[in-house]
């Protein structure tokens, strides 16, 4: 709960936050991401079948991310740290929250700028530049893979995120369709009496949850409204 007189603000962000920075989302195209079938580039089966394709796909994503810049939603969430004890739980694999100034971020689905060992998942490395290629190995000599949680894989930080959601004095959901589980279930962990703000132009269905405040706007417009509401 609140630390001293600073309330605990927990924010769950999805692809809609990064979309306004030009980062593609596959929400609008069923099963496709930048023209690729999701199972080809974001599943263990795709990795086994064609690791070269998978590595090339994420290399392109890193190049695109290098050109992207944080938007107003990212920077306003960072400014909220002046007033609240803020934790960002993000489904996004980009680093725009970090570059926007937020300091306490949990990446549920991994990080595009990192690689990990295929022999031991605890061995995680920063990627220098934008490329990870066949022949790039960990200290054990095993091929490195993108540090991304693919479809069908466990979400290692889910329990941590759930514990944080249970402590939320205020919970905010921005730019997520709330259909990708288990992340979408985090709102059910939030205390019943805590206000829950949902920001999205296409309001997701969240079922019978108390204290919902809906802001049907884009991530940047909605986060500006949220900021004004919370600070006033």
Spell out the domains of the chain, with CATH numbers in brackets. Answer: 1-23+70-109+155-232 (3.40.50.1220), 24-67+114-148 (3.30.1600.10)
Predicted confidence band of residue 11 (pLDDT cuts 50, 70, 90): very high
Taking only the tens place, the pLDDT of each residue in 198-209 is 999 987 777 778
Q: In what order do the strands lie in the sheet with 144-148?
A: 124-126, 110-117, 144-148
The residue annotated as part of the active site, out of 97, 107, 109, 147, is 109
Active site annotation includes 109: yes
- The better pLDDT of the pair 33, 9 is held by 9
Taking only the tens place, the pLDDT of each residue in 144-176 is 999 999 988 999 999 999 999 999 999 999 998
- Please give the full DSSP string across 131-147, using - where no structure is assigned: ---TT-B-TTSPBEEEE
Angle between helices 219-231 and 72-79 (to 10 degrees): 20
Taking only the tens place, the pLDDT of each residue in 129-152 is 999 999 999 999 999 999 999 988
């Amino acid at each position: 709960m609140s630390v001293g007189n600073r309330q605990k603000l927990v924010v769950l962000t999805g692809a809609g936050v990064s979309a306004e920075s030009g980062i593609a989302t596959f929400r609008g195209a069923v099963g496709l991401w930048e023209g690729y079938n999701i199972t080809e580039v974001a599943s263990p089966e795709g990795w086994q079948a064609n690791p070269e394709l998978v590595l090339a796909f994420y290399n392109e994503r890193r190049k695109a991310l290098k050109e992207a810049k944080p938007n107003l939603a990212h920077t306003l969430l960072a400014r909220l740290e002046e007033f609240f004890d803020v934790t960002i739980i993000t489904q996004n694999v980009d680093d725009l929250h970090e570059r926007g100034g937020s300091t306490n971020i949990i990446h549920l689905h991994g990080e595009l700028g990192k690689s990990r060992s295929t022999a031991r998942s605890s061995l995680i490395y920063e990627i220098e530049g934008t490329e990870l290629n066949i022949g790039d190995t960990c200290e054990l000599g095993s091929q490195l893979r993108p540090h991304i949680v693919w479809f069908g894989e466990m979400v290692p930080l889910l329990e941590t995120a759930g514990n944080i959601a249970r402590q939320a004095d205020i919970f905010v959901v921005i730019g997520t369709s709330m259909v990708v589980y288990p992340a979408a279930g985090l709102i059910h962990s939030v205390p019943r009496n805590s206000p829950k703000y949902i920001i999205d132009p296409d309001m997701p269905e969240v079922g019978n949850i108390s204290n919902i405040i809906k802001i049907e706007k884009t991530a940047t417009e909605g986060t500006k409204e949220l900021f004004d509401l919370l600070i006033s």
